[in-house]
Amino acid sequence: MPDLPRCSLRALSQTIISFLLLLLVLAAEANALATFPQVKAAHRRSDAVILDRHGEVLHEVRMDKSGRRLDWTGLKEISPALVKAVLHSEDRHFYEHSGVDWQAVGAAAVGRLFGATKRGASTISMQLAVMLKSGAAPKGRKTVSQKWDQMGAALDLEKSWRKDEILEAYLNLVTFRGELQGIAAASRGLFDKEPAGLDDREACLLAVLIQSPNALPAEVGRRAATLAGSLSPRANIDDLPMFTVDLLSRPYRVRPRVALAPHLARRLTAGGASGKDKNVSSAVRRIPTTLDLRLQRFAQDSLRLQLNALQGRNVGEGAVIVVENATGQVLAYVGSTGDSQVDGVTARRQAGSTLKPFLYELALEKRLLTAASILDDSPLHIPTERGLYVPHDYDHRSRGPVSVRTALASSLNIPAVRTQLLAGTDPFADRLRRVGFDLRRPAEFYGFSLALGTADVSLQELVNAYRTLALGGIGSDLRLTPGASTPSRRVMERGAAHIIADILADRSSRSIAFGFDNPLTTRFWSAVKTGTSKDMRDNWCIGFSRRYTIGVWVGNFSGEPMWNVSGVSGAAPVWLELMNYLQRDSRSAAPPRPEGVVAARVTFSGSSEAERSELFLIGTEPSLKAMAESRPEAWRIPRIAYPPEGTIIVLDPDIPQENQRVFFEAENAGHDEFRWRLNGELLPPGEYGRRWAPLPGRYDLALIDSSGTIQDSVSFVVRGDTAALKVR
C-alpha cells in the first residue's frame, strides 16, 4: 500500500463513514428484531428438567441433539474476568458505539481499498443481530450487502436494547466449542463449573474460542496466551498453551447437576424431543412429577446399601417403587442402582409367590374356601401333557393339615396349587388380568404352576395390584405426573380383599415359615408378601400400610441366579427401611372391618393350629362349631398319591428287569390298614406289595381298606418292548 498523508487517510475514512451512516439509518428502519424479554423467554435448553412434587430438580436429561444449551445465565452470574476478556477480544469499544464501531469500519474499508491485511469490524451488537435474524452465529466472510444489513440491524438493536442486555444475550447464544452453545454449557462442559467461577486463563481460552470454535487446540492456546498477555502484561501465561491443548484434546461433557431418576426421565421424555409430550414446556423443558426428591434419594441409598451387603451372594441389581394408595401417585421410582439401560420397575420377571394372595382372594370371593378352611400340605402329583407336575414347598417339608390363613401367610406352595385346582386356572388367569397383570400367554401355557408365579410380571404391576388390595378391591392406574385422577374400578370383592390383607398382616401365622423376628415385621399395621422365582433368579417384597404401597426387587438383569438369597434376606430389608421411613411420624392402624365381613371363633381338630377368632365373608362363617370340625377334613381321606390318574410308565430296555420297579404311594393311609388291588388282584400286604415289577399293559389300581371298601382308584399304562423283557 503506498504511503499517504495521515490527514488524507483520515479524511477518506470520514467520508466513507458519513456515506455509510446515511444508508444505514435508512436500512435500520426496515429491520424488526425481537425484544430482549422475547429472546430470553424463547431460549430453549437442550435438556429436560425433571421436577419433584415440590418443584425441586430430580434429574436432567439430554433431549435436543442439535446443540448443547443450558439455562439462561444472567450477566451478574458470569465471571467479570470472562466479560473483560470477551470485550477485549471481540469489541473493545462496546460501551462507546451505538452498534457499529465506525472507527473500525473506516479502518477496515481503507485497508481493504489499499490491499492491506483484512481486518474484522463486526461488533458484538452486529454479531448478535445476525444470531437473532438467522438463529445461528455468523459464519464466514460477509458480502458488502450482508455487512450492510448486519450494521443496520445492529443500529436498530441498540435503539431498543440496553448494553447489558446485548452482552448478556450474546454470551448466552454464541457457540464456543463444537456443540457447546452459550456460556453455561461452555463453562460446565469444558471446566465443570458455573460461569461465575471462571478464572483469568479460563476466560481467555473461552474468549478466543468465539472467533474460531473448532480451531486446533495448539492454535487456540497460542491465541489465548496472546490475549492474556494483552490484558495483563505481567500475567503468567507460560502454561496456558499446554493447559489449552490438554483440555481441548479430551472429550468434553456437560455433567448433570442432579441425576436421581434416570429411568423415569427416559420414560417421560420418550416423545418429548418431537414436541409430543404435553408435559414439556415449549421454551424450557420442565416436567413436573409426583415423586418426592428426599424419598427418592433415601430409596436409592437404602437399595444401594442392601446390594453392597449382598455382594458375596451374586446380587447385582435392584429396583424400588413407592406409591401413595389413595391417589396412585408414584413417590419414588428407582429403576436400578447403576447405569444400566434396563428399567427394573417395568422389566418383566417371574413373579414367584407374589401372586398367591390373588388366588386365595378369588377362592374366598367365590365361596370355595374361607380363611379357616383346611388344606393338605403333603406331596402332590398332577399328571399333565408334559408329564407329572410335582410341586414342593421351599423347604421340602410336609406340614399336613394347614388353614388357608397359615398357607398364605407362610407362603406354602402345595396348598396354593391345591387351591388353583379348586378355583381353576382360567378363572385365576382372568383375575390376574383384571387386577392389572399383562399375562401375555393363555392360561394353559402356565398350567398349575401359575399359583407359584411362573408368569412374567413387572414390579409396577405388582405394586399396583397390592395397592388394589390395600384399597379394598378398588383399582386404578398409577400416576407419574400431576393431574386429574385416573378412573377407578372395582376388581375384587371388598370383604375378600380385606381378609387377604388381614392374613398378609398376621405375624403369628407368618411365623411358621419366617419366625417372629424378621424384616417383614413393623411396629405398625402393614401387610406384606415376599416371593422368589425359580433358581433364585428374582427376589420380591411387596407390601402396604394404610397410606403407602412399596415394592422392591433384587436380582440380576442378566437372569443369573443369586446365591442363597430369599425374599426375607434379599428385598425385605429395603422394604422395611422404606416403610419405617414413611411412617416415622405416624402409625398405620389396622383398617376397619368392612360391611359383609364377620368374626367367629374357630377350633381346629387334628391340626396344630390354636383356637382363634377368624374373619369370614358373611354367610360362610360356622354356625355352632368351628368350620374345621363341622366339615369333612379332606386332608384325612386316604388317596393314591402315585401313580396319578392317566400316568404313562415307559420301561427302559437298557435297565435290568430286576431293577425296574414302580412304588405305589398313598396319602393319609397306613400300610397295615390298607391294601393295594391291581387289575382285580390283591397285592401282598405291607412294603413288599407296594414294590411292583411292571409289565406292558393297561392297569386299574385301587386302594382298599380292611373292610374291602375302595378309598381311591386310578388307571395307568405301562409301555415297553415285551420281546426285550424276561417273562416273570
Residue 594 backbone class (left: φ over 0; alpha: ψ -120 to 50; beta: rest): beta
With cell 471462571, the residue in question is 198
Peptide bond into 632 cis (omega under 30): no
Report DSSP state, residue 261: -
Q: Give the C-alpha separation, 509 to 707, whole Å.
A: 40
Q: Name, in order, each residue with C-beta under 8 angstroms of 611's C-beta and a sequence gap of 6 or more.
A: 601, 602, 603, 604, 626
Q: Name, in order, each residue with C-beta under 8 angstroms of 575's C-beta and a sequence gap of 6 or more.
A: 519, 520, 528, 541, 542, 543, 550, 551, 552
> What φ, ψ does residue 638 adopt, rounded to 5°?
-65, 140
Instruction: Give the three-class secondary structure for 282.
Output: coil
Q: Find, among 275, 229, 224, 263, the residue nearest to 245 by Cα.
A: 224
Residue 347 near residue 458 (C-beta atoms within 8 A): yes
With cell 472507527, the residue in question is 103
Q: Give the C-alpha separation, 617 to 599, whole Å.
A: 9
Q: Find, among 713, 684, 678, the residue nearest to 699 by Cα.
A: 678
> What percent helix, strand, coil does the chain show, rounded to 5?
40, 20, 40
What torsion, rounded to 10 degrees, do the Cα atoms 373, 374, 376, 377 define? 90
Nearest-10 crossing angle of helices 356-365, 459-470: 40
Residue 701 near residue 666 (C-beta atoms within 8 A): no
Identity (one letter) of the amino acid at 635? W
Q: Give the C-alpha separation, 678 to 621, whole Å.
A: 43
Catalytically annotated residues: 90, 353
Residue 157 near residue 129 (C-beta atoms within 8 A): yes
